[in-house]
Amino acid sequence: MAAGSNEGRGPLYRLYINRLRHQLKSVVVPRHVAMMIDGNRRWAKQLGYDSAAHGHRAGAAKMFEFLQWCDDVGVEVVSLYLLSTDNVRKRDSAELADLIEIIAELADELSRVSGWRVKHVGRVELLPPELATVLRDAEARTKENTGLHVNLAVGYGGRSEIVDAVRSIIAQHDQGGGSLEQLAASLTPEQIGEHLYTGGQPDPDLVIRTSGEQRLSDFLLWQSAHSEFYFVEALGPDLREVDFLRAIRDYGSRDRRFGS
């Protein structure tokens, strides 16, 4: 899955890219970027492909490229929304089989990039054993890496994540012999955050979604309470580096108040 580049684009485009990169030297770059890649199926349909798999494969290749852009500007954590719990339950079986194969290939490739750390976030029990094995191996292969941290949201749902976090807290509290009344009195948002799939990580500073859609679709519901959002009209596979750099520039210009 080869990463793309700016080769083949005109000199004005490359000049603008360099200008944007220069501008980013004076702005705050988000530590954690969450990406909702959308529009893969529409992209394939518009180009006349008879299978959505062409769009999903192009989208996966774009995500590899996107991660390189993030690494280049100093982003520390990236979360990619690749397969939701609703996708697992509702997608056509043939399309789902293609998606599973594509995600497995992407996870394996990302785990072989020097320095990058891969983590699966989601319900592993919803996934086919072969995909679960690839994700587990990718985590094991990269667990000692300290570079770009890549969360792969596969079989993921934000509401399910919160439910799992609360269940984990209850189970832990029960092991300690505490009562439900004590738990209810002591429960805090910080405690729930520690038991999420992303526990220990910074919450996303910036959430990007492609294809012009403006909704969360059950992605990082708890973690994105104070996130900034940026919506791109381009379909997933058509996302350009210039779109990404504009998103980072826009983020850097915002006054983040965190409710104050």
Contact 89, 125 (CB under 8 A): no
| Catalytic residue (choose from 38, 98, 203, 205) | 38
257 pLDDT tier (thresholds 50, 70, 90)? confident
| Strands (DSSP E) found in the chain | 32-36, 77-84, 117-121, 149-156, 206-209, 228-231
β-partners of residue 231 are: 209
Quote the CA–CA distance of 214 and 23 in Å, as a whole number.
27
User: What are the angstrom distances between the C-alpha of 259 and each of 104, 252, 255?
Assistant: 39, 18, 11
**pLDDT for 40:** 97
Written as six digits, the tokens of 95 are 């399309």
DSSP state of 238: G
Mean pLDDT within 91-102: 93
Contact 116, 131 (CB under 8 A): no
Whether the predicted pLDDT of 247 surpasses 90: yes
CA-angle at 107, arms to 7 and 118, nearest 5°? 100
**pLDDT for 7:** 52
Quote the CA–CA distance of 96 and 80 in Å, as a whole number.
17
For the chain, list the domains and their CATH numbers. Answer: 30-159+203-239 (3.40.1180.10)
164 catalytic per annotation: no
User: What are the angstrom distances between the C-alpha of 232 and each of 32, 201, 219, 250?
Assistant: 18, 26, 17, 12
Helical (H) or strand (E) element with 159: helix 158-175
β-partners of residue 119 are: 151
Given the DSSP bridges, would you call strands 77-84 and 117-121 parallel, antiparallel or unpaired?
Answer: unpaired
Contact 42, 84 (CB under 8 A): no
151 catalytic per annotation: no
Quote the CA–CA distance of 203 and 198 in Å, as a whole number.
8
For 176-200, how does the pLDDT look when each residue is reduced to its tens digit (9 = 90+)?
A: 888 889 999 999 999 999 999 999 9
Quote the CA–CA distance of 24 and 20 in Å, as a whole number.
6
Quote the CA–CA distance of 129 and 114 in Å, as a whole number.
26
For 2-16, how does the pLDDT look when each residue is reduced to its tens digit (9 = 90+)?
A: 444 555 578 888 899
| Catalytic residue (choose from 6, 86, 87, 243) | 87
pTM (two decimals): 0.92
Mean pLDDT within 47-73: 97
For 109-154, how does the pLDDT look when each residue is reduced to its tens digit (9 = 90+)?
A: 999 999 999 999 999 999 999 999 999 999 999 999 999 999 999 9
